[in-house]
């Protein structure tokens, strides 16, 4: 009890110095927490870019290899054509079933991404069509979309001439629920309009049941019946994604296996640049300020101890052991460190709130050498397409939301306490060597 009473009295007597030391520690801790919160916000923004490409539930996406050049006489690439071509080589149904049976794979769905190329003497154009596995709508290109009009596919639509149309394509072509779209001279009734998230880039124009897409598809002039060119997988847990990727690569050599983490290095734009700035400059600045705060706390504590030599000498003369005097100094420094921790965490929350309030939405895009892109003679603008419909080079803007986690708070408190204990240890080192006779000799 006397320990606490004496500690409280000394802190009150040296209130100004204690506040100054605590504020120095708070500034260092506050900057550390702010930088960590900002870094967390930018990482979240980067993951938002990738989540738009993958949607909910899809952990691993597998795309077939680039198709071989057209064979002579196949009819592909002629001056007059209306072809439904696949940008990837086909993957057989047996391989899809094998991927679904892999260890740690919770679900698997096939997809067929096709390009309808129309080029005649009077008109030319192209649009994208995705064949969707009706039995696994939670995987694949529709998983992140929202039906804004009409309804989605049902089990009865598995082999029906029906289609879902992207909202942007519907506006451009004047399509509504009940309209029809013609694909390979077959009329498909529009049963729903789909709105895809902004982060998805350029979405697919038309979605049809997988069986119908397989019936009209061509790969080098040959139909792709019972084949897919994209496989969507979900792992049993996030920790299993890497293992699933490795298993799929062995099962399907020559295909491109992509996960959100493998695309992370391809995120470009301001969101990536600012993240690097925060991680590099911000981290070093926080470390330097923290070191300066620790150094100031040590110097001020040492100076305060030097002015209390006669006090500590007297305590030793009346029977206090050195470890008790040292414990008293450490206790005072620890209390100052805790006060600095509380103030520092508060400053960290304030810094994160300021960044969230003033930070503009940052532009970002995904695209680079690691992305599995179409590499064949497709029309301009098609080279950026991948993953069953998303254009990875399409720019987008993402908001930044810095957040302070419980882990950051714990780290901040521990750092402030460590700074206080370090200052107390350096100050008490001199007291431990002090002899009562030397201290009492200074008494006037």
pLDDT digits (tens, 9 = 90+) for 137-156: 888 888 778 899 999 999 99
pLDDT(164) > 90:
yes
DSSP letters for 41-107: HHHHHHHHHHHHHH-SS--EEEEPPPPPPPPTTS-TT-SSEEEEE-SS--EEHHHHHHHHTSTTEEE
Give the mean model confidence (pLDDT) for residues 36-62: 67
The average pLDDT across 339-365 equals 82
- Is the model's pLDDT at 322 over the cut of 70? yes
Task: Encode pLDDT of 221-240 as tens digits.
Answer: 667 888 998 999 988 887 88
Smallest CA-to-CA distance from 159 within 215, 224, 212 is with: 212
Answer yes or no: is pLDDT of 106 > 80.
yes
Query: Which of 307 and 101 is assigned the larger pLDDT?
Result: 101
pLDDT at 156: 93
Q: Which residues contact 200 (CB under 8 A, 6 or more apart)?
A: 52, 53, 55, 144, 389, 390
What is the pLDDT at residue 379?
Answer: 33
Helices 93-100 and 241-251, interaxial angle, to 10°? 150
Backbone angles phi, psi at 119, to 5 degrees: -145, 110
Flag the least confident range among 227-231, 259-263, 266-270. Answer: 266-270
- Residue 375 pLDDT more than 50? no
For the chain, which residues make up each domain, given as ranges? 2-50+270-361+399-440, 65-254
| pTM of the predicted structure, to 2 decimals | 0.56
How many residues in the chain? Answer: 444
Tell me the three state secondary structure of residue 143: coil
Report for 29-33, 97-101, 266-270: range of highest mean pLDDT? 97-101
The residue with greater pLDDT, 90 or 1, is: 90
Q: For 166-205, how does the pLDDT look when each residue is reduced to its tens digit (9 = 90+)? A: 998 999 999 999 999 988 888 999 999 999 875 445 568 8
* The pair of three-digit structure tokens given for residue 242, joined into one six-digit string: 């890497």
Closest-CA residue to 153 (of 109, 116, 95): 109
Q: What is the mean pLDDT of residues 240-253?
A: 89
pLDDT-based confidence at residue 50 (cuts at 50, 70, 90): low
Q: What is the pLDDT of residue 81?
A: 53
**Mean pLDDT lowest among 92-106, 325-339, 355-369, 384-398:** 384-398
Q: What is the mean pLDDT of the chain?
A: 76
What's the confidence (pLDDT) of residue 82?
54
Give the pLDDT score at 381. 34
pLDDT at 123: 47
When mean pLDDT is compared across 45-59, 175-189, 275-289, the lowest value belongs to: 45-59
Q: What per-residue confidence (pLDDT) applies to 15?
A: 84
Q: Of 2-6, 210-214, 373-377, 428-432, where does the model show the most confidence? A: 210-214
Q: Which residues contact 377 (CB under 8 A, 6 or more apart)?
A: 77
For residue 185, how many C-alpha atoms fall within 13 Å in the half-sphere facing its CB? 3
Give 413-438 pLDDT, tens digit per residue.
Answer: 898 888 888 888 877 776 666 666 55
Q: In angstroms, what CA-CA distances link 262 with 50, 255, 265?
A: 10, 15, 7
pLDDT of 11 strictly over 60: yes
Residue 113 and residue 130 in contact, taking contact as beta carbons nearer than 8 Å: yes
pLDDT above 50: residue 348? yes
Q: Given this model, what pLDDT does residue 100 score?
A: 92
């Amino acid at each position: 009890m006397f320990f606490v009473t004496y500690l409280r009295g000394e802190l009150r007597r040296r209130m100004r110095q204690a506040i100054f030391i605590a504020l120095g520690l708070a500034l260092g801790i506050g900057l550390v927490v702010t930088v960590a919160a900002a870094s967390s916000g930018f990482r979240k923004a980067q993951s938002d870019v990738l989540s738009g490409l993958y949607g909910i539930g899809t952990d691993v996406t597998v795309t077939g290899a680039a198709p071989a050049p057209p064979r002579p006489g196949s009819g592909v690439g002629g001056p007059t054509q209306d072809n439904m071509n696949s940008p990837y080589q086909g993957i057989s149904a047996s391989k899809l079933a094998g991927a679904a049976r892999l260890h740690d794979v919770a679900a698997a769905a096939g997809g067929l991404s096709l390009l309808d190329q129309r080029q005649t003497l009077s008109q030319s154009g192209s649009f994208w069509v995705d064949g969707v596995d009706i039995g696994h709508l939670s995987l694949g290109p529709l998983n992140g979309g929202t039906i804004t009009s009409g309804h989605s596919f049902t089990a009865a639509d598995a082999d029906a001439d029906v289609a879902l149309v992207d909202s942007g394509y519907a506006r451009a072509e004047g399509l509504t629920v009940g309209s029809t779209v013609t694909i390979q001279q077959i009329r498909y009734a529009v049963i729903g309009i789909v709105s895809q998230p902004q982060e998805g880039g350029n979405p697919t124009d038309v979605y049809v049941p997988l069986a119908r897409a397989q019936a009209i598809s061509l790969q080098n002039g040959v139909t792709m019946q019972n084949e897919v060119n994209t496989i969507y997988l979900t792992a049993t847990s996030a920790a299993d994604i890497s293992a699933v990727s490795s298993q799929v690569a062995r099962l399907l050599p020559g295909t491109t296996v992509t996960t959100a983490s493998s695309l992370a290095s391809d995120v470009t734009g301001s969101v990536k640049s600012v993240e690097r700035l925060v991680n590099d400059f911000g981290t070093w600045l926080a470390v330097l300020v923290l070191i300066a705060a620790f150094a100031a706390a040590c110097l001020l504590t040492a100076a305060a101890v030097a002015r209390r030599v006669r006090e500590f000498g007297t305590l030793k003369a009346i029977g206090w052991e050195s470890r008790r005097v040292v414990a008293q100094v450490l206790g005072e420094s620890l209390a100052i460190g805790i006060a600095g921790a509380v103030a520092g965490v508060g400053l960290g929350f304030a810094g994160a709130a300021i960044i969230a309030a003033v930070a503009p939405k940052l532009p970002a895009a995904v695209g680079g050498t690691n992305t599995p892109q179409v590499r064949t003679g497709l029309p301009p603008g098609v080279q950026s397409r991948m993953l069953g419909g998303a254009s990875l080079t399409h720019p987008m803007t993402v908001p930044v939301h810095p957040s302070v986690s419980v882990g950051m708070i714990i780290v901040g408190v521990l750092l402030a306490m460590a700074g206080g204990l370090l200052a107390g240890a350096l100050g008490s080192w001199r007291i431990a060597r002090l002899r009562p006779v030397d201290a009492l000799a200074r008494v006037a």
